[in-house]
Structure 1
Amino acid sequence: MNDIAFSQMMPGAAKANTRLKTGLALGLILVLVLSLWIGWVPIAPTELGGIVRVWLGMEAGQDIAGKALVFGMVRIPRALITVLVGMGLSAAGAVYQGLFRNPLVSPDILGVSAGATFGAALGLLMAGSSWLTIQSLAFFFGLTAVGMALVIARVVAVRPMLVLVLAGLVVLSIFNASITLLKYLSDPYNELPAIVFWMMGSMSRAQWSDLRVAMPIIGGSLILIHVARYKLNVLSLGDLQASSLGLNPGVYRLLFIFLSSVMVSVSVAICGQVLWVGLVMPHIARTLVGPNHEEMLPVAVLSGGIFLLLADTAARALTMAELPISVVTAFIGAPLFAYLLYRNRGSGWS
């Protein structure tokens, strides 16, 4: 990506990208509505109006009271959280790939996901720990992992981007080993299955309280990244070029890493590990609109929301027992990623 010049977009291309983003936004709304209908408690489109009125308390309806409860307390918060997590992971992947100038980088490159998973596993092993405690530990250790990688890179202080990647691998290995140790020490009948299921990822635990946490953190981070997304173009050219253009690469790199890591930590704290979203969606966006982050990042964010919502809908509707969402994203994301590599085999980023 560092050899690509970000030239002025032609008017025709700008209009095409605007139409694409509009289409993705409308597609996201359509998929969101469909996800509210699909499930083991079927909700017909003709029942939707009555269900909403019963859920809001505007009228009584004993025959659809159960469906109104499922609609208002399960499906709406689950769908909205799924969209936020998909958007956050996609944005984090796009940011990391731009910062490290490597299209194979994913949001767990600095050990964020492993640290958050360790925190959740630790909370699951603590006697009497609440759901809030588990999520808080996941969020704390996710940021701790990033902090450790940054400290190691700062101490070494040689070729900072390369050292940061290597430091992330060190932190990732440490937390993965710690997770394995916790699994070894856990009760194989109660605690171990809980840790394993957490690592598989699931949106089934989503609640309105989670949305109240995720909305300001992930939503706010997305807004800040969107506002400063053009600076990713400069940072992707390298530190020397960024400094010559009047940008402080160290400050903005730290800002983007922090915002991305916060989104990943919150996502893992809410739903466990969700794989492939942050790796594949930026590639799709880059294939559609090119490497310019001003155009690519919004496309990646919208695509991530659609992709994860479709995966979650499939996970809870395909079988009698709900599938782990990472299984669905892997089965879809891995072949899609292989196709993208083949399709873009002649370009610089593949």
Structure 2
Amino acid sequence: MIADESKGRLWLFVGGLFLLALVSMSIGKYAGPSEIWRALRAAASGEATDPVLSTVLWNVRLPRVVGALLVGAALAAAGATYQGLFRNPLVSPDILGVSGGASLGAVVGIFLSLPVLAIQAMSFAGGLLAVAAVYAVGVAIRGRDPALTLVLAGIAIGALVGSGIALIKILADPYDQLPAITYWLLGSLTAITRLDVASILPALLIGLVPLVLLRWRMNLMTLGDEEAQTLGIDTRLTRAALVAAATLITAAAVSICGIIGWIGLVIPHIARMLVGPDFRRLLPASMVLGGAYLLIVDMLARSIALIEVPLGILTAAVGAPFFLWLLASGRRAWQ
């Protein structure tokens, strides 16, 4: 009965997400809802449309909506994986240094005045290299608690990466490079294109496949290493596969939009409250809610001010108070 209710809620989320995407397509300063809906009807019927309006719809709005859905879903899926894997509700996708490594790669690319695609590639590679360094340190130390060892190594590598970013910001041109670096670190979907969306799809698919295939093992990993090993799970191999998959999708998301915090921390909590802790339901629910949340934040970023507000500011402004409410409302469970 509970499983049926969870599935019903999940399909309700999917339907709401589809409607939300249509609403997001119609919000913007150039063309309002009536023009966008008219262009959509014309495209569906094969009629001719205003070329400028068509460009706005298919080359600006659609990539942005799809990008928000993919990035939000990826960050939420990674957050749900990390929280279950490390059995810690305060863990987020940047705990192993992936966001910091991706930031350092992008900052170096901006500092070297590289093309946009090269900056995105360096960001993606930086995220993967940072987590690889964390995992190498964790394996070399071989502490009694592998999960805790990885978290501590991630904190250390993150601090080292943060110092590198600060150094480059000091050395950067204050009139050209520094504003670009600062804006990228705050996160934005303003310049996202169809090519950007297509470029991260392979990494997202490759990263999500292990999460789906290992979803039942993920449930066992939340019991702890000793219990999981008793049930026949190779915890080292499973942890490595799950960390690699979550890191891959996080690095891909960050590479095209910059740092967007709080999604991977808050959204899995909301999904867990709605569908329960079973990872088989938690993963799709987190992805749907993450995509919806980033769509809503992106709509706010486009409409609440004369200039576009970076997404990282809004996700922190909305996510932090909500997370404090979660802590207060669930204090007995936390204790």
TM-score after normalising by structure 1: 0.92
Q: What amino acid maps onto 1:14 in structure 2?
A: A
CA positional deviation for 1:163? 1.1
Amino acid at match of 1:15: D
CA deviation string 1:203-260 (max 9, x = no partner): 0121000111122221342243123212111111111111111111111111110111
CA contact (8 A) 1:84 1:219 kept: no
In 2, the alpha carbon distance for the partners of 1:74 and 1:177 equals 35
Q: 1:143 aligns with which of 128, 136, 148?
A: 128
Preserved CA contact (<8 Å) 2:105 2:119:
yes
Partner of 1:172: 158
Match for residue 60 of structure 1 among 21, 28, 48: 48
Q: Is the 8 A contact 1:226 1:298 kept in 2?
A: no
Distance 1:211 1:28 in 2: 18
Task: Tell me which amino acid in the other structure corresponds to 1:35.
Answer: S
Pick the aligned partner of 2:10 from 9, 18, 21. Answer: 21
Supply the AA of the counterpart residue of 1:136. A
Q: Distance in 2 between matches of 1:215 and 1:309?
A: 18
Residue 9 of structure 1 is matched in structure 2 by none
Which amino acid in the other structure matches residue 148 of structure 1? A
Does the 8 A contact of 2:36 with 2:57 survive in 1? no
Among all aligned residue pairs of Structure 1 and Structure 2, give the percentage whose two residues are the same amino acid: 37
Offset of 1:52 from its aligned partner? Answer: 6.2
2:287 to 289, 292, 301: 301
User: Are the equivalent residues in 2 in contact too, given 1:51–1:67 (CA < 8 A)?
Assistant: no
- For residue 155 of structure 1, what is the aligned residue in structure 2? 140
Q: Partner residue of 1:258? A: 244
Give the distance between the partners of 2:307 and 2:271, measured in 1 at CA: 33
Is the Cα contact below 8 Å between 1:90 and 1:301 reproduced in 2? yes
Deviations 1:40-74 (A, max 9, x none): 123334753535646x994434xx32221100100
Corresponding residue for residue 34 of structure 1: 23
What is the RMSD of the two structures over their aligned residues, measured on CA atoms? 1.7
Structure 1 residue 169 displacement after superposition? 0.6
Deviates more, 1:283-292 or 1:304-313: 283-292
Give the conservation status (yes or no) of the 8 Å contact 2:267–2:289.
Answer: yes
Map Cα deviations across residues 81-114 of structure 1 (whole Å, 9 max, x no partner). Answer: 1100000000100100111100000100011000
Letter in 1 for 2:254: V
Counterpart residue identity of residue 156, structure 1:
I
Aligned position for 2:307:
321
Matched, 1:292 2:281: no
Instruction: Tell me if the contact between 2:76 and 2:290 (Cα under 8 Å) persists in the aligned partners.
Output: yes
Write the deviation string for residues 120-159 of structure 1: whole angstroms up to 9, x where unpaired: 00000114x1111101110111101001000101111112
Distance in 2 (alpha carbons) for counterparts of 1:174 and 1:93: 22
Paired residues of 2:26 and 2:36 also in contact (CA < 8 A) = no
SS in 2 for 1:181: helix
Name the amino acid aligned to 1:27. G
Asked if 1:219 is matched to 2:212, the reply is no
Asked if the contact 1:98–1:235 (Cα under 8 Å) also holds between the matched residues in 2, the reply is yes
CA distance in 1, matches of 2:4, 2:130: 42
- Equivalence map 1:123-134=2 (5 Å): 123-127=109-113, 129-134=114-119
Q: Give the alignment's TM-score, normalised by structure 2.
A: 0.96
**Unaligned stretches of 5+ in structure 1?**
1-11
Instruction: Report SS of the residue matched to 1:347.
Output: helix
Distance, in Å, in 2 between the alignment partners of 1:327 and 1:165 is 26
